[in-house]
Every structure is written in C-alpha cells, then in structure tokens.
Amino acid sequence: MTTLAFVLLIIFASLGCIINHRSAVSIRNSGIRLASITLYHGLFSLFLVLIPILILILLWLVLQDPLLELYLLRSVLDEYLAGSSKGETDLVLAEIRSIAGGTIFGQPEGWKLAAGEQLAALQDLFSKLLVFTVSVLALILILIARYKVRSEFRARQNVERIVTWLMIACSVVAIFTTLGIIASLMLETGRFFSLVPITEFLFGLNWEPQIPMREDQVAAEGAFGWIPVFVGTLVITAVALLLSVPVGLMSAIYLNEFANHRVRSISKPVLEILAGVPTIVYGFFAILVVTPAFRRFGDSVGIDVSPNTALAAGGVMGIMLIPFISSFADDALSAVPKSLRDGSLALGATPSETMLKVLFPAAIPGIVGGILLAVSRAIGETMIVVMAAGLIAKLTLNPLDSVTTVTVQIVTLLIGDTSFDNPKTLAAFALGMMLFIVTLIINIFALRIVQKYREIYD
Amino acid sequence: MKTKMDTINLVKRSLPRRNRNQIILKGLGVLAIVFAFLMLIILMSSLITSGYKALTQTHIEFSVYIDPAKIKPERLPRGNFKGVLQDSIFVHHEGELSKSEQKQLAKILSNGAQFELRDSVISDPGLIGQSITLKVPTSDPYDQLNKNLIDRQTEEEFRRLKDNEILWFDSLDQKGLISKPLNWGLILNTDSRFPELAGLRGALIGSFWALLVCFLISFPLGIGAAIYLEEFATKNRFSNFIEVNINNLAAVPSVVFGLLALAVFIGWLGLPRSAPLVGGMTLALMTMPTIIIATRAALKAVPPSIREAALGVGASRQQVVFGHVLPLAMPGILTGTIIGLAQALGETAPLLLIGMNAFITSAPGTPLDTSTALPTQIFIWADSPERGFVSRASAAILVLLTFLITMNALAIFLRNKFERTW
C-alpha cells in the first residue's frame, strides 16, 4: 500500500507537469507571449504536487503505527493492562504487533488475538486512507496549479524560489544531524545520570557494567566509572601514535624533499590504498596475524603477553594512521613558500638541513593539526579495537596487558537486544557523549590550527 | 683573507658530517616508506593465503537410494532422510560398523545434505524408490583435512579428526568420490550455522539495499547543499554555521552515528531494527559531508567564464548553475560520490549498533527486512569459534576488497575520462 502511495505520487506529479506544460504550450501557440517559458509552468505543477504530498506521506508513515497503538492502549487494552508496568505493556504491544503482522508464537490469550486483528484491520484501513488522501490532495493541487497557468504568471520566479528553499533545506540537514546527535546523546545520558550519579561516572575507578537479573541478587551491582575505560583508550592511542607519527612524518619528509618522481608516483597510491582499507579488515588482520605474532615473540623471550594486548590493537591502528599523518604532513610541507627553501639552499644548507631547520619548523602548526586529527580518529576508531582489544576494564598503563576502550564498551553494551530503561544500555550513550565531546574539542582545536596556519602563508 | 679561508675550511671540515646526516635522514625516509609497503604486503598476503582456501569447497558425490521404507510419500515433508543418506554412504565402507561408529562416520556429510535431499524429494515425489546422484559439501573438519589444514602428524587426541575418520575419508577419496570444485556457495548461499554451507548472499543483498538507500538520500541532499553553499549562499553567520557543521560531521566518530541512528531512527521514529533502510539512512548521514566537499570542489573547478557567458546571454542564476555549471561539474561529483559510497560500503560500527549483525538465514527482499551487510557478516564470521569461518571471513574480506577496488577504479576511470582541464 505504501509503495502504491509513492507510485501514485510520482504519476500525479508527472501528470500535473504534463498538463501544465501542454496548456502553457497552447497559450503560447495561440500567439500570446508567456512571462515564463513553458517548461517552468510544468515544473511549477510538479513541485506543487510533489513536495507537500511527499511530506504528508513521510509524516503519515512515521505517525501511523504509534498513534494506532496509543488508540488501542487507551480503548481496548485498558482493562487488561491496568496496573502493569511500562516494560510489560511494551511486551504485550510487541506481541500484538507480531500477531497483526501474521506471525503468532505459541497460544496467545484471546484478547491479544482480538487486539492483533483489530490492529491489522486499522492498519489496513489507514493505509487505504493514505492512498485515498494522496489521490484527492494530488488532484486538488493539480487543479490549483492548472488554474495558475496564465500568460502573465511568473512561473520561473516561483520555481526558482522553491528550488532555493529546497537547497537551503538540504544544507540544513547537516545542522539537524548535529542537533540530532546532541539531542539523542543528551537525553539518554540524562536518563543515565538519573540512575547513576554523575560523580560516580566521571571519577569512578571501576567499570563493571552489569545489572542485577533478580532483585535479591548478591554481588552484581554494576560499577560505572569511566576512568579505566578512558585510560585504556589513551594507552591504545599512545601506542598507535608512537608507530604512526615517526613513520608518517619520515615518509612525508622523504616524499616531499628527496623522492624522485617515480618513487612518488608509486608510494602515494600505496599510501592511499592503506588509507582506503576498511577498518574491519585491519581488525581482522590484528587478530589473524599481529596478536599471534606478539604472543609468539613474548613466549620466546619469556614475557607474558595478554591475548588481547593493547600493543596489537594500537599497532594495527598505527598502520591505519600512517597515510593519514603522512598526507597531512606532506600538505603542510608543500604549503611552506618556495622562497624559504630557496633562501636556505642558497645560503649553503644541505637539503636535509633545509628540511629539518627551515621547512619542518615552518610546517609545524599544520603537522600538529594533522596529528591532533589523527588522535581524534584513534580515540573514535571502533572496529579494530572491538576485534583486537579486551573487554574488561583494567586501570593499567602497561601496553602488554589487555585494556578496553570507550568504543569497545559502547559496541558491546549495545550489541544484542536493547531496551532503553536500564543503566547498562544507557551507559553506552553516556560514553558516546564523552567520546563526542572529546573528539569535538580536539577536532575544533585542530581545524583552527590548520586554518590559521594556512592563512599566514596564503 | 684569513677569516675567509677559515670559513671555507670550517665548511669543508663539517661537510662530511653534514652529508652523513643527509644520508641518515634519507635512509630513515626510505625505511618509513618500505615499512608502509611491507605492511600492505603482509596485510594482503595474509588475507589471500587464509582466504583463497575458502574459494573451493570439498564435495562428496555418491548415489543415494531413496528407500520407500524410510521415506513415505504420504508423510512428506517428514521422513528419515538422514538414515537414507547414511545407508547410501556406508555402501562405500568396507567391513562392519558398530552403531557408534556409524554415527561418528556419518558426520562426513554436511548437515545441510539431508535438507537438500528433502527439498528435491518434495519437489518431485516420484524420486522415491529410485537412485539419484547427490553432490553435497562435506562437513567442515573433512574440508579442512582435504585442504591440508589438519596436520595428519598431530597426536590423535589433539586432532579434530580421529584416525578412523581420516582412513574413511582417504578410502572415499581413492574411489574418486571426493572433489574440490569452486565454492559458488560462498556467494549464492545465505548465512548458516555450518561453515561449509555459509555464504554471503544475504549480506551482499543487504549491503546493496543499504548502499542504494544511502545513495538516494545522500546524493540529492549533498548536491543541493553544495550548490547552495557554493553558488547562492551569501557569506553570513548562517552559511558559516552550516559549513562548520559539515566540517565537524566529517570528523565525528562513526560509532556516534550509530548511537544517533539507534536513538532517533529506531527509538523515536520506530523504524525496524537490523533493516538495510536504517543502515542506509545512517550511512547517508556519514557520506553526505564527503559528497558535499567533493561537489563544492568540482563546482569551484568550473571556470567563471562559463557562468559569465551564460549570464551574459540572459540566463537566470539558477539556469546558469543547473544548465551549465552542474553538467560540467558532474564527472567530479560522481567521482566523489563513488568514493564516498565505497567508504560507506566498508563502514561497520554504526551497522553493528543498529543490529545488522544478527544471525539471519534468508536474504532480504525489501529494505525493511532484517538483514546483515558485507562488513557485519565479516565481523560475525571472524567472531565465530569454528575454524572454517576464519577462512570464510578472509574470503568475504577479499570479496569486499574486490568491490572497493572496482568502485575506486571506476571513480578513477570517470575522472580521467571526463574531467576537463580549462
């Protein structure tokens, strides 16, 4: 039925377009000059039909089921569900929904079957109603558009105004996405802090996100202190940077100053391939190759290496970040004015001295900005650590040990079925909030540095 | 005079040291590049060596007598299909077998074999009482044995297959019943609990739906936003704010987009979990900044003379943009879009959060059905304890990388073929 509504919408919109276009053509053919060319009369009708009805259909689809269920709750189910908690109500609703969808598990009570049938009937009725509304509204809009076709009607100006607003709407999506991120994180985090005190989350040294299954369960109180999780993130980030910063900077220096054209033309694509490999592939690489290699090496020299050592996750993340840092450093070095290099070389400095004492210091702000962006990527990187890092939060700085990260915890807390009413799942949103804040601050700071530095030389 | 000589001598004396430093710096640079090369080679070779084994699958081919005593036409789809298979396979075994041995050695057949037999009998009940030739996958341990992944020298108790099982396999192999054809099941089958039957069809279709939704949303929205910001927006607080937003969105961790999708699309809007539609919408939000940035660069690259010429003959500003600038910028926009979609195809974390990592054994028919996607399927297999799934995961990664390389090659081709320099 929904598909039918969309198909009808397209048909009606095209129909309106054709009708208006033809009537405009006939006006023109009768010798009267039109204010706008015929095409715009057609487009005017197209937009007039398409946009309002598209909005209507989307709103209808979003609102229909919640409103119908609300109606059922208020009218039919009221007597059966009196006094039951929200969780139980949700469970019953889910069952009724699946009955309405045609899948019946076991032997539900009669009133549930009846409610399910009623819901299915209502859904059917409302989807028919949707198709009907769409058709009627479309016909009205086509008539309005047709009525507008006059020689003096400025169709182009109207169409262009609509298009401008459409484009503004497209741009505003970015704002709404940011708002959506902030709103969803804030709301769920707020609910989390109503269950767990904010001070415990920010300053607690224990992270054991369990919830008691039964009321009287002993020793299952969860602990929600994010410090060990954050420290784990920092350990892995530090390992990643220790690998990627020197390698990335050195390769950038070499490619920028010493490499001939052929080496550059081979090396750049290789670095780009490294940058384009999906992170899940890096994660798989970590558990398939890197971790066993570290374990074997540890065994041979007699050091105890944990099976989820931070060294493996951080090392692989470092490989991922090499092209990132290298390309930022390369850009920063290339942006240094040629006069500085020429001057240094003319004074008798060797190319390496020119690089280390003139170009590199001049490029430092841009390079630092790039490294900061790499830090924020490392903190927010998910798949490598989900696959290669540990799950248990340990407050340690030893990279041979197993540590966990913010992103690992978010993913493990939310994988599987989730309901939004216990601290375990809400904790993921609190962690997401902290992740968002930390990366946002780093990003803004880094972009500032990069931009400011660009302005100096431009 | 003297001081000049001194300076020259000083420089001459310092030159070897300075040249040495130069060589050291160059050497370090070469080392760094070589390291990056080496890592790429190790990455690719480890994936290929572990993945190519899943490109073939050990099959066993034998004739099955469909015993009317065990499968009755009136009782279909029930029937002792497993017993029928066992009887037919033990024809090839010399010597008596005890009940427990029978049970043990029958495990050479994949668990899916009985369902395959059942389906063919149901579709043609006339087969009952006849003999048909059946070619089915062997179970995973025997597949591993055939690919030399199980070391025959290992002590029996540490081996996945016991001595009698290996002998049984070898005797079948000598009779020519074992073959190792190309593993089309990897692409044509859906996911399964048994590694020898698991395939990527569901994941590929799920990824296709998600990418389609992602493209349908992000492409028009991205182009609209880019045109507005580049061609029409006056520089003011509002357009500046939008730009800051877009730049920041491009750097927000992907897992945060997953949280957004979970809270807004699934929690508030009530869209179904694990659906490619939700996955595609999430990926669209992440791809949009990429497309906007690429489109703006492509629009910028169109020389002002084009705009001025069109304006000069009386076109309106929108006619200039949509009639002249946009078509000329299209190759650049498409290149950026394909690269953005390639990134979206490899994106995993947000899909995990919206539940696209469920165990689903049917391919999605519409974007609203539950489904997995290619990267989440890799994640599921990589997490499975069975050995067979590890090589499947590597093979799936090879499939994913093939898609990515194809898309990027297409983007480069488009750029080289259609991009004009002015």
pLDDT tens readout for residues B254-293:
999 999 999 999 888 888 888 999 999 999 999 999 999 9
Q: A68: closest CA among A96, A91, A88?
A: A96
Distance from CA of B242 to the nearest CA of A (A): 6
Largest CA distance in chain B: 118
* Cross-sheet strand order for the sheet of B59-65: B131-137, B59-65, B178-179
* CB proximity A280 to B under 8 Å: yes
Instruction: Give per-residue pLDDT as tens, B70-80.
Output: 877 777 777 78
Task: Give me the percent of chain A exceeding a pLDDT of 70.
Answer: 95
pLDDT of A214 = 55
Domains within chain A, CATH numbers bracketed: 2-161 (no CATH), 223-457 (1.10.3720.10)
Question: Which residues, 6+ apart, have CB-to-CB distance to A39 below 8 Å?
Answer: A21
Instruction: Give per-residue pLDDT as tens, B135-176.
Output: 888 888 888 888 888 888 888 777 878 888 888 888 888 888
Q: How far apart are the first and last CA of chain A?
A: 58
Q: B397: closest CA among B385, B409, B410, B379?
A: B379
Task: Give me the percent of chain B exceeding a pLDDT of 70.
Answer: 100
Number of residues in chain B: 422
- Closest residue in B to A255 (Cα) is B29
* CB proximity A19 to B under 8 Å: no
Contact A180 B260 (CB under 8 A): yes
pLDDT, chain B, mean: 88
Contact B36 A271 (CB under 8 A): yes
Q: Which amino acid belongs to residue B357? A: N
Q: Confirm if B254 and B350 have CB atoms less than 8 A apart.
A: yes
Kindly indicate the confidence band of residue B184, based on its pLDDT and cuts at 50, 70 and 90: confident
Q: Which residues of A touch B401 (CB under 8 A)?
A: 277, 281
Per-residue tokens: A23: 């009537």
Q: How far apart are the first and last CA of chain B?
A: 57
Q: Which residues of B touch A276 (CB under 8 A)?
A: 342-343, 404, 408
- State if pTM tops 0.80: yes
Contact A248 B232 (CB under 8 A): no
Q: Is B123 exposed, middle or buried (0-12, 13-18, 19+ CB in 10 A)?
A: exposed
Task: Give me the percent of chain B exceeding a pLDDT of 90.
Answer: 43
Q: Which amino acid belongs to residue A141? A: L
Q: Confirm if A307 and A295 have CB atoms less than 8 A apart.
A: yes
* CB proximity A244 to B under 8 Å: no
For A41, the 3-state DSSP assignment is helix
Interface test with B, best of A284, A322, A444 (most B CBs within 10 A): A284
Nearest to A167 among B227, B251, B264 (CB): B227
| CB within 8 Å of chain B, chain A residues 248-277 | 248-251, 253-255, 258-259, 263, 267, 270-271, 273-274, 276-277
Contact A250 B29 (CB under 8 A): yes
Kindly indicate the confidence band of residue B211, based on its pLDDT and cuts at 50, 70 and 90: very high
Cα(B391)–Cα(B149) distance, rounded to whole angstroms?
11
pLDDT of A455 = 64
Contact A280 B375 (CB under 8 A): yes
pLDDT of A220 = 53
Q: Which residues of B touch A62 (CB under 8 A)?
A: 269-270
pLDDT at B32 over 80: yes
* CB proximity A307 to B under 8 Å: no
A303: phi > 0 → left, psi -120 to 50 → alpha, else beta; which?
beta
Least confident interval from A221-235, B156-170, B298-312, B382-396:
B156-170
Contact A167 B224 (CB under 8 A): yes
Q: Confirm if A64 and A123 have CB atoms less than 8 A apart.
A: yes
- Closest residue in A to B380 (Cα) is A387
Tell me the ipTM for this assembly: 0.89
pLDDT of B95 = 74
- The reply to whether omega before B195 is within 30° of 0 (cis) is no
Distance from CA of A78 to the nearest CA of B (A): 22
Cα(B385)–Cα(B248) distance, rounded to whole angstroms?
39
Instruction: Give per-residue pLDDT as tens, A121-161.
Output: 888 899 899 999 999 999 999 999 998 888 888 989 999 99
Nearest to A181 among B252, B343, B345 (CB): B252
The count of C-alpha atoms lying within 13 angstroms of the C-alpha of A27, restricted to the half-sphere facing its C-beta, is: 23
Dihedral, CA of residue A412, residue A414, residue A418 and residue A424, to nearest 10? 70
pLDDT of A195 = 84
Domains within chain B, CATH numbers bracketed: 57-181 (no CATH), 201-418 (1.10.3720.10)
Nearest to B249 among A174, A248, A255 (CB): A174
Per-residue tokens: A3: 């598909």
Series of mean pLDDT values for 10-residue runs along chain A (458 residues) = 88 93 91 87 92 92 84 77 72 79 75 83 90 93 90 90 94 91 92 87 83 55 84 94 95 91 88 90 92 90 84 93 93 89 92 91 90 93 90 83 90 74 83 93 86 68
